Amino acid sequence: MALDNKVALITGGAGGIGLATVRVFLRQGAKVVVADVDTERAQAAADEVAHEGAPGAVTAVGVDVSDFDAFQAAVRTTVERFGRLDVLFNNAGIAGGKPLLEHDPEKDYHPMIRVDQDSVYYGILAAGRQFRDQGGGGVIVNTSSIYGEQAAELAFTYSAAKAAVISFTRSAAYELAHQGTRVVAITPGRVATPIINQFSPELRALFASELLRNTMTEPEEIANVVAFLASEESNVINGTVVSCDDGYTVFKQRFELPTF
């Protein structure tokens, strides 16, 4: 299997894309640490996937990714449990927003920057040092977004944070190449995560219409991309942004063609 004996730390692993990636990694032979700010949800997720057929290959850890010391502790826990770290999926994040001129910086800027931007820097730093201490190698996959590459509704802070993730990815790939560490970003589009599934059927239909297949992307479809990027089969993919948006950035809107 592509990820046989690889050890992965997956943040935001208790739900959505994170949990889907936990399952895909385990099916491909990896050992996985499910990291989430909600320790109980992380443990429940780890117990659930263990019962699905991966006993001994998965464990849970609570971590506030916006705290560097906590992120370092999660890396240490991973190494203590499984002996090393091979893959970090820097996936934890929060969403939300409001019009720019209605912002309260303490509510609408700083928290999202800490979770969606600063945590990626912390993960790169903590994992990069661990890879160095192991003798090199390792893969870091960072979750950016289609919003990291374009302006969008109610997304001033979110877009800024996700754009920073892309910049972090390129710079980290450059700086860590000497030790054999790869760093890649993904930009998912409209994915059927709990955050989006809570919206009305009408809004979800609108989101689906923005994709070429006219259907929401499933979390496991993104997880399959992450697993490939974490494997040695993708060794030439480094320092780049991998779009997994089902064409969201290719077109604007479908419409009936006029008669010419």
Interatomic CA distance for residues 8 and 260, integer angstroms? 56
Nearest-CA neighbor of 84 among 30, 181, 6?
6
User: Which portions of the chain are predicted below pLDDT 50?
Assistant: none
pLDDT of residue 254: 77
Return the structure tokens found at 67: 């705290």
Three-state secondary structure call for residue 84:
coil
Token readout for 87 is: 């893959």
This prediction has a pTM of 0.96
Of 219, 226, 213, the residue nearest 192 (C-alpha): 219
DSSP 124-148: HHHHHHHHHHHTS--EEEEE--GGG
Question: Please, are residues 109 and 142 in contact by the beta-carbon 8 Å criterion?
Answer: no
Domain boundaries, given as residue ranges, for the chain: 7-244
Note whether 67 and 40 are within 8 A (CB). Answer: no
Neighbouring CB atoms inside 10 A of 147's CB total 22
Residue 8 confidence (pLDDT): 98
**CATH no. for 7-244:** 3.40.50.720
DSSP 215: S
Q: What pLDDT is attached to residue 68?
A: 98
Phi and psi torsions of 216, nearest 5°: -65, 145
Instruction: Cite the active site residues.
Output: 158
What is the spatial distance between Cα 19 and Cα 12, in angstroms, rounded to a whole number? 8
Query: How many Cα atoms sit within 13 Å of 133 on the Cβ side?
Result: 12
